[in-house]
Amino acid sequence: MATTSKKVRWECPNGCSGVLGSTRPRRDDVCRYCLDCSGKAGRLVERRAPALERRREAKSAARVRRVASAKDTIDRRETARHSVHGLDLREVVRMAGRLPALKGAAGVPWELWRGKQWVRSGHAYGNSWFVRIIDDDTPDAKTRQEILVAWQREPEELRGKQSDAVARWRPTEDEKRARQSKAVGVILHEMAHIATGKRHGYKARKDGALKFGRCCQRAFAQWNDRHADLVEVNEKEEGAYRGRRSRELRSSGE
């Protein structure tokens, strides 16, 4: 059975009567031009197809919405990846770069690694640094061990799989705040390496530079003075050194 192509009305911009024509006419199709107006003007006067123009505008608007939606999805994913229980670590790095002790580390490129197997750690190079942070929904090694101990104590017919017990874990509010504090602490720690250019020491922590240790101390103190209402950092847990070297650091005048 023969089919007919859809027709649209092509209208003259000068108000002459329109004609029905194809939605995709050839370039030399007479429906594209008002012959009366073209004869009077001495040049071709093109007709418009309002229905096609509305359709193009709708498609263009839909394309803009799709692009915006895709960008918004990417932004949400990046924000989620860089957040520890709602705390955006990108903003933490910007805030840390404004601390007097860490001005030398402001603007230095950095990366965040997230995963289910990572322990909290980091490393600083000469011109960049990175930190590893465990995923929000994953227990750390100590918590995982406690979950498995509790799982083993349950009756065998009720306890199910080990993986299910771990998957059911959800952090308490105190655990969320502790994770945020540790994440900020390791960021300040690595930025202190960048700001001072000093390391812990190749053989043991007792060989590390006191300049780096004191930079950590100042950074933690300045952070807690300015941003304790956001996250407070535990210097004893996240500081540069412990034990004898820590006592030397506190008594040193460097």
User: Quick one: pLDDT at residue 203?
Assistant: 45
User: Quick one: pLDDT at residue 183?
Assistant: 92
pLDDT tens digits for range 17-73 = 888 988 888 888 888 899 889 888 889 899 999 999 999 999 999 999 998 888 888
DSSP H helix total and E strand total for the chain:
10, 7
User: Quick one: pLDDT at residue 118?
Assistant: 64
Supply the mean pLDDT for the chain: 83
Decide: residue 237, CB within 10 A, 0-12 exposed, 13-18 middle, 19+ buried: exposed
Low-confidence ranges of the chain (pLDDT < 70): 1-4, 118, 157, 200-208, 238-254
Q: What are phi and psi of 8, to 5 degrees?
A: -130, 160
User: Quick one: pLDDT at residue 85?
Assistant: 92
**Residue 154: CA count within 13 A, CB half-sphere:** 14
